[in-house]
Structure 1
Amino acid sequence: MMTDPRLLSVATALPPHCFDQEATLAAARAMFAHRMRDFDRLAPVFANAGIQTRHAVRPLEWYLEPHGWPERAAIFTDCALDLLEEAGTKALERAGLRPADIDAIVCVTTTGIATPSLEARLLDRMGFRPDTVRLPIFGLGCAGGVLGLARAGMMARAMPGSTVLFLVVELCSLAHRSEEATPTNLVATALFADGAAAAVLRAGDGRGPRLRASGEHTWPGTRGIMGWRVESDGFGVIFSQDIPKLVRDRLPPVLDAFLSKQGMTRADLAGVICHTGGTKVLQALAEVLAPASDGMDDAWAVLRDCGNMSAASVMFVLERRLSRGATGPQLMVALGPGFSAALTLLEL
């Protein structure tokens, strides 16, 4: 137990532009209605998404026009660095640390690429040491918040006494493609948003919530459930409407096997920290996680106020749980490309 990683702090950051769902629907109507025969039939997805507001790195009118890959990539790098610096600075301040105190950085994203990677670009910008160990992770999708935190915990456990900074940023709005008039793109327009988060971890420190265990499961034959298509102007979203059914049918035995290794059942959980995948996904998770239910209201609140920020979302829920004084064993849950389930057990 003494070598288990501890969370010294958690912080989040949102970009400056905020849209309400009515404005987003109006923009979607202007973009797609004249090219989609089924637009009016599909439009209720905006009202049913459980979202009131979301944040993005560009003003709403920017998304009404087509943009090429070089422009999207440049905006991704600039804005991702701004958000990571904000979240990272807040997390360090809350932990009472300076950038020079960090020994390793784990940085997760799936909505853009940069080489040198994002955390490498932050070294000089924020004042991290030149010998800081770096681990950039791409491709975990919505599961990246849970799995990235788990990887950061593994690094902290492998280097007792060292301090690890976990960073995650997703700029989902930059994958919006105004020229793709498809139902999938319309649903993505109704759901996805931008955000970033950071956490400071250290093993061998008795302070803060403890990362007890982590696990993951990738179901065979499910690669087409969620992911990206690489298009000439950027990423094209792939996700299946079968995700809620898959959660209900296949997650329970995976969840129970993970908890059993910790000598626990679902009834032993004091609460849950769920990725805000959308109303149907949250409803499916609530059914599967029962009787554990404390914390579902936090997931619904983050979805309402911020939308689906992919991997960053679950960290917003974690921050909210901590601020509200949650205690006891809490299960972090997210789903991502693979198709995969990501699980981390925290003791708050």
Structure 2
Amino acid sequence: MKSHITAIGTAVPPYQITQLQVADFMSNALEIDSEASRRLRALYRATGIHTRHTVLSDYTHTSGEFEFYGNNPGMEPFPAIDQRMELYRKNATPLCIQAIENCFEQMPGFAKERVTHLITVSCTGMYAPGVDIEIVEQVGLPTNVQRTAINFMGCYAAFPALKTADHICRANPDAVVLIVCVELCSIHFQKHNTDDHLLANALFADGAAAVLVQSTPTPGSLYMESFYGDLISVGKKDMAWHISNFGFEMTLSAYVPDLIEQGIQVLTENLFRNLTVSLENISLFAIHPGGKRILEVIEKQLALSPEDNYHAYEILRNYGNMSSPTVLFVLQSIQRTLELADKGKRILSFAFGPGLTLESMLLQVH
């Protein structure tokens, strides 16, 4: 029995900010001098990101008009973890609902009562009763829907969710699985003037994605052919995500692209090992745009062109890195361009996260 991604929906919050706007905000927040501010703007320009989205209007201002951060030097008192979790609780579910509605729009006539399983994914907030129960209530899903929560796995978490949905549909051909990934990365801004925090503040944004997985294919659906995941333990300290008194703190070393560069070929070979497939058979690529340099080192190792990575670059440019939903934004971008002539083409997909975890997936266009 096979399983297919039949629809993908996405959503972003209302506040769209440019990289230069965020750079101004960060320069003010960090209280740095003009030379450091110049270097910060250079970092932001080098990310390949033009705009990002956030649930916080504060990032559209530089000072004096904040609703969440303190309107004084240093933004004191700096928001504590309980204030950030309250912000998550208020904003996460509405964003999920938008993504689910967008997903269902791709399937005219789809009856939400058919959903048998709900998988929710997030690493930027938690509470209970949580997002999963609120989705059931607000979308009107069956109250006996089987719920699974995948938490704190970071940017690659959509892959474990898709694997779980794949197992469910292969075991039960009548299953209809709804996956919802939501991340509000922007609520965890930290003031530390360190390389790790400066890089994280330059990349991450807010967004949500919803995916339907079923055994029965539909036109343009994506058959999930194979998965392979692995760890590069030497990179365990280079990407991490911890809960502190003032939000969740990201460790994001500049060495992460180097580690991915070292491991991507072996990861791809292991994904293909039991298949009659090679890179020459791959037409489309859905790579998680964790950063511009990550895309570039993968291109170098797999002999890809920037045109092969077009969809990833566009998502990075327009949305930044939204953690777990991001690779689903890339897949949606690809799915929207598919035509009848694309039937049978394969899509190679990657995502990366704490561990250092490398995930890969091979899909085929129905």
TM over 0.5: yes
Q: Residue 268 of structure 1: CA displacement?
A: 1.5
Which region of structure 1 is more displaced relative to structure 2, 45-54 or 263-272?
Answer: 263-272
The letter for the 2-side match of 1:272 is F
Which region of structure 1 is more displaced relative to structure 2, 275-284 or 37-46?
Answer: 37-46
Correspondent of 1:27 among 4, 25, 38: 25
| Partner Cα distance (2:338, 2:80) in 1 | 45
Residues 101-140 of structure 1: matches in 2 within 5 Å?
101-140=114-153
Q: Residue 82 of structure 1: CA displacement?
A: 0.5
Runs of at least 5 residues in structure 1 that lack an aligned partner in the other structure: none
Equivalence for 2:52:
54
Equivalence for 1:100:
113
Q: For residues 33 and 286 of structure 1, do their structure 2 counterparts lie closer, same or farther at Cα, with a shift above 3 Å needed?
A: farther
Runs of at least 5 residues in structure 2 that lack an aligned partner in the other structure: 70-74
Q: Residue 148 of structure 1: CA displacement?
A: 2.0
Correspondent of 1:83 among 85, 95, 118: 95
Equivalence for 1:345:
362
| Partner Cα distance (1:143, 1:282) in 2 | 15
Q: Residue 39 of structure 1: CA displacement?
A: 4.8
Residues 166-245 of structure 1: matches in 2 within 5 Å?
166-177=179-190, 179-205=191-217, 207=219, 208-245=221-258
| Partner Cα distance (1:194, 1:22) in 2 | 17
Equivalence for 2:72:
none
Q: Residue 146 of structure 1: CA displacement?
A: 2.8
| Partner Cα distance (2:248, 2:304) in 1 | 38
Q: Residue 42 of structure 1: CA displacement?
A: 4.2
Equivalence for 1:44:
42
CA contact (8 A) 2:11 2:99 kept: yes
Correspondent of 2:310 among 292, 297, 303: 297
Please give the TM-score of this superposition, normalised by the length of structure 2: 0.89
Identity %: 24
CA contact (8 A) 1:143 1:311 kept: yes
| Partner Cα distance (1:92, 1:164) in 2 | 12
- 3-state DSSP class of the match of 2:210? strand
Equivalence for 1:68:
80
CA contact (8 A) 2:228 2:270 kept: no
| Partner Cα distance (1:132, 1:44) in 2 | 49
| Partner Cα distance (2:173, 2:194) in 1 | 50
| Partner Cα distance (2:33, 2:149) in 1 | 39
CA contact (8 A) 2:179 2:212 kept: yes
Deviation string 1:176-227 (CA, Å, 9 cap, x unpaired) is 12x3222222211211110000111111446522111112111234321212
CA contact (8 A) 2:226 2:363 kept: yes
The letter for the 2-side match of 1:161 is D
CA RMSD in angstroms comes to 1.9
- 3-state DSSP class of the match of 2:10? strand
| Partner Cα distance (1:230, 1:114) in 2 | 14
Q: For residues 165 and 14 of structure 1, do their structure 2 counterparts lie closer, same or farther at Cα, with a shift above 3 Å needed?
A: same
- 3-state DSSP class of the match of 1:273? strand
Q: Residue 12 of structure 1: CA displacement?
A: 0.4
Which region of structure 1 is more displaced relative to structure 2, 206-215 or 119-128?
Answer: 206-215
Residues 311-326 of structure 1: matches in 2 within 5 Å?
311-325=324-338
